[in-house]
A and B are shown apart, each in its own frame.
Chain A
Amino acid sequence: GAVVSQHPSRVICKSGTSVKIECRSLDFQATTMFWYRQFPKQSLMLMATSNEGSKATYEQGVEKDKFLINHASLTLSTLTVTSAHPEDSSFYICSARDLNGHSNQPQHFGDGTRLSIL
């Protein structure tokens, strides 16, 4: 089945550091990738929709200058948390939809990145 690889799986760093998370579709091309954030014991909240070759669409309340998204190819999207602070600590999960996939096709999810800011 379709595989989405997310790297790194865990990051621990000091406050003020910028952290980049990569999301790759391994066996399919994805024009659209999604970035979610999940707090402990809570559900997933969509942060932004990443479209290959164009600017990402951010959800209300998500700072685009804080969470930089780049989708340079059909198999790679990156999320950079700039100048991270303890309140940015969370579980970040990416998802991708096949190039030929329509709304009736499932999204495939990565294994997530646990970000801890000290």
Chain B
Amino acid sequence: KQEVTQIPAALSVPEGENLVLNCSFTDSAIYNLQWFRQDPGKGLTSLLLIQSSQREQTSGRLNASLDKSSGRSTLYIAASQPGDSATYLCAVYALNYGGATNKLIFGTGTLLAVQP
């Protein structure tokens, strides 16, 4: 069974710091991995998508890496800002998991607080 775990569960940093969020998954049979942002009481905003054949993706101050063989991904946020405060979720798109339709399996999330 595919399980996705995120560490740490919560993180508080001062503004301007660079930080890394971690995501691990138990089954390397994935199509891709996505990082999302969720603000309180809101839906999800897609940040980055990494295909299974890729090693990393970058968007602005965000950089996501993928090591499929070890079942790990990291989201690097440079020069953090108070506006980055949110819950960050990673999700893997699993390949025909358990015989069912391919589906997105979410991690437990990291609650990030950037202090001004």
Contact = CB atoms under 8 A, between A and B. Distances in A.
B69 interface: no
A24 to B, nearest CB: 13
Interface stretch (A11-19, A62-70, A71-79, A103-111): A103-111
Nearest to B103: A46
Contacts of A106: 34, 46, 49
A93 B87 CA distance: 15
23 contacts: A4-B43, A34-B104, A43-B106, A44-B44, A44-B106, A46-B103, A49-B101, A49-B103, A95-B44, A95-B104, A103-B31, A103-B102, A104-B32, A104-B51, A106-B49, A107-B34, A107-B46, A107-B104, A109-B43, A109-B44, A112-B41, A112-B43, A114-B41
B40 to A, nearest CB: 11
Counting contact residues on chain A (CB < 8 A from B), the size range is 20 to 34
Nearest to A4: B43
Interface string A50-69: 00000001010000000000
Contacts of A31: none
Contacts, number: 56
Contacts of B113: none
A114 B109 CA distance: 19
Interface of A: 4, 6, 34, 42-46, 49, 57, 59, 91, 93, 95, 103-112, 114
Contact of A108 (B46, B93, B106): B46
B37 to A, nearest CB: 11
A18 B29 CA distance: 39
B31 A44 contact: no
A94 to B, nearest CB: 8
